[in-house]
Amino acid sequence: MKKNLFWWTFSAFAVTSLLGTLLHFSFDWTGGKLFVAPFSAVNESTWEHMKLSFFPMVAFALFQRIWYKRVAGYWKIKTVAILLALFLVPALFYTVKGVVGKVPDWVNIVEFFVVLLAAYGWEYLHFTKPTKPAKNWIYLSVLAVIALSFALFTFFPPKWAIFVDPVTLGRGIV
């Protein structure tokens, strides 16, 4: 089980890294198509960069679930790993920015991979431990609310700093 789990975790990291990177550019590549906006980065704000972890992690979790039907607490573990990634994106970005000041783009890219490594590392550790069955609907509901929040706040962002594009100083689709 552990060897198989290692390869699943490695694959999840690789696929999520690739999809997240593609989602960073997909809005521009499609000429700003609105149907792409809810799950792609539409600007350089921290909020938009959180999407780059969230949607690929959820997509891979749905795909992986086909083979992990009998794993107790599957959605609980996946949801907590995704929440960890969502927490780490702004935590790392604002910590590094606060210490260093202006951050080169390559540092932000490294932070993205560190976030995914941490989330999937946590997930791996918890899949190797016995887990009690959980109410899947609770965790799937949490993921659905987050997905809807990303969609809503892409078009109607609050006036909070996390939504501000540091390049244009705009919010949402700019």
**Amino acid 48: pLDDT:** 95
**How far is it, in rounded angstroms, from Cα 36 to Cα 17?**
18
Residue 171 falls inside a structural domain: no
66 located within any domain = yes
- Count up the domains in the chain and report the number: 1
Domain of 85 in residue numbering reads as: 2-163
Degrees, nearest 5: CA angle 49-54-57:
130
**Winning range, highest mean pLDDT, from 6-10, 57-61, 91-95:** 57-61
Q: Where residue 92 falls among pLDDT bands split at 50, 70, 90?
A: very high
DSSP state of 13: H
**Domain annotation covers residue 137:** yes
Decide if 138 is inside a domain: yes
SS (H, E, C) 106-124: HHHHHHHHHHHHHHHHHHH
**Does residue 130 carry a pLDDT above 80?**
no
Q: Is residue 21 part of a domain?
A: yes
Residue 3 pLDDT class (50, 70, 90 cuts): low
The answer to whether residue 173 is domain-embedded is: no
pLDDT in tens, 131-142: 777 788 999 999
**Helix (H) or strand (E) run with residue 90 in it:** helix 74-100
172 within a domain of the structure (yes/no): no
Domain membership of residue 93 (yes or no) is yes
Q: What is the pLDDT of residue 20?
A: 96
3-state secondary structure 146-162: HHHHHHHHHHCCCCCHH
